[in-house]
Structure 1
Amino acid sequence: MSLFSVTASVENNDLFHMSRLLLLIDVFATPSGDGSIEGLTKLAKLDFLLRYPANLERALSARGAKAEEAQVLDFERTSVEASMVRFKYGPWDFRYRRFINLLVAKGLVHVYLRGRTVHLGITPAGRESARLLAADEIFTTLRERSTLLKRHLDLGATALMQFIYRTFPELINLAYGETINEL
C-alpha cells in the first residue's frame, strides 16, 4: 500500500478523527476548570497544532517552551497530513460538527451553550474511552501532545486565534477554502 493510500485511508477514517478530538477534549475539559473547551474555534485551533506537529514545535517555541517536547518524528515532517482548509476563523475541518455530534451520540462528549458559545465537555464514559485510547501506542503521542497544548496554550479562544495568526502569518495569505499543508 502506498503512502498516499495509507494517508487517504486515515483521512477518511471518522473514528481516528473522533479519537483525536476525544483525547484533546479530555485533556482540556479538566474538572479544575469548568470542565469544557470553550467554543469550536478554540477546538479547531488546538486541533490544528495537534494535526501538524511541526507547527506545534513552532508554537511551543513562540511560547518560550522547548520545541523538542513535541517529539516530532522525521516522517511527520515529510508526510502528507490530513487536510484542513483556511476558513473565516483560521484552520478548520468542515467535519468538526459531524465528529462532535457522533461523539455526543455515543455518550462520550456533552455540548452546551453559554450565551452564544458552544462548550464541549466530556462524560465519564468519554474519560474512560480517552484513558483506553491513551494507553494504545497508536494514540500515546496524541495524548502527550494534547497535554503539551494544555500546558503551554490553554488560552481563551480569541487569544489563541491571535496567537495562531501572529505565529503563522502565512495562514492569513491563504484564500478561504484553500488547503493548509504543513506550514
Structure 2
Amino acid sequence: MISVFEYLLELEKEDDSHLGRILVLLNVFAGIEGKKEIKGLTKLAKLDFLLRYPVYLERAMKKVHQNPERVKIKEYEKKNVESKMVRFKYGPWDFRYRRFINELVGRGLVYIRPEGRSIYLGVTDNGRKIFEALQNDPWHDDIISRAKIINSNFNKSGTNLMKFIYATFPEIGSLKYGTKI
C-alpha cells in the first residue's frame, strides 16, 4: 500500500499538473482577446508561487487590503507539500520552468517571443482551446479563480513582484539559496 507521502512525491514528478497550472496563468493574463503576454520567467515564477501556495496568496491579499476569503483555501491545502519551490536569487523558483515552457511550446500551446534581453510568453490558439476546456471542468475552478485574483491584484513587473514577495514574506528572504519553501 502506498502512503500519502509517497503519493505526493509521485505527483511532484508528474509534469501535467504543472503544465496545466502554467497554461491557466498564461491564459488568464492573456486577457479576453488572448493577446497579452507575460514578460519573463521571473514574473511567471512569482505569479506561479502565489498560485501554488494559496496560504501565501491569502496573506498577499491581506497585504494589498483585499478580502483574503476570496482565495477559498480548503483545509487540505493549508499544509500542501505537493509542489515545492526553492528560494532563489530573485525569489521563489522551480528549476523545471524552462522544461515546462519548452514542453508547452513543443505541444503548440504557448509561444516565446524574444525582445532584446527579455522573453515574452503568450498562448496560442490551441492553448486557448485547452484553457476553454479546463474552464468547463469544475475540477479546475479553484486554480482558475485564484489565477484571476492574482491577475487583478498582482499584475506587476517581475522586479516589483519580487520586492513585494520579499516584503510580504520576509521568512523567504532569510532562507539559504536552494532551500525548499
* TM bucket, shorter chain: over 0.9
* Mapping of residues 90-101 of structure 1, within 5 Å: 90-101=91-102
> Structure 1 residue 79: deviation in Å?
3.3
> Structure 1 residue 148: deviation in Å?
0.4
The whole-number CA distance in structure 2 between the counterparts of 1:10 and 1:26 is: 23
Q: Check conservation: 1:103, 1:109, Cα contact below 8 A.
A: yes
The answer for the alignment partner of 2:47 in structure 1 is 46
TM-score by length of 2: 0.94
The answer for the alignment partner of 1:165 in structure 2 is 166
Structure 2 residues without counterparts, runs of 5 or longer: none
Structure-2 change in CA distance of 1:124 and 1:152 (3 Å): same
SS at match of 1:179: coil
Structure-2 change in CA distance of 1:125 and 1:33 (3 Å): closer
* Mapping of residues 15-164 of structure 1, within 5 Å: 15-30=16-31, 35-164=36-165
The whole-number CA distance in structure 1 between the counterparts of 2:87 and 2:127 is: 30
1:137-168 Cα shifts (integer Å, max 9, x gaps): 32221111000000111111111111111101
The whole-number CA distance in structure 1 between the counterparts of 2:57 and 2:38 is: 19
Q: Alignment length, in residue pairs?
A: 180
Moved more, 39-48 or 76-85: 76-85
1:111-141 Cα shifts (integer Å, max 9, x gaps): 0112211110000100110111232232221
1:68-110 Cα shifts (integer Å, max 9, x gaps): 0000011100232311111111100000000000000000000
1:29-53 Cα shifts (integer Å, max 9, x gaps): 2267961001100000010010000
TM-score by length of 1: 0.93
Structure-2 change in CA distance of 1:66 and 1:76 (3 Å): same
The whole-number CA distance in structure 2 between the counterparts of 1:137 and 1:8 is: 25
Identity of aligned residues (%): 46
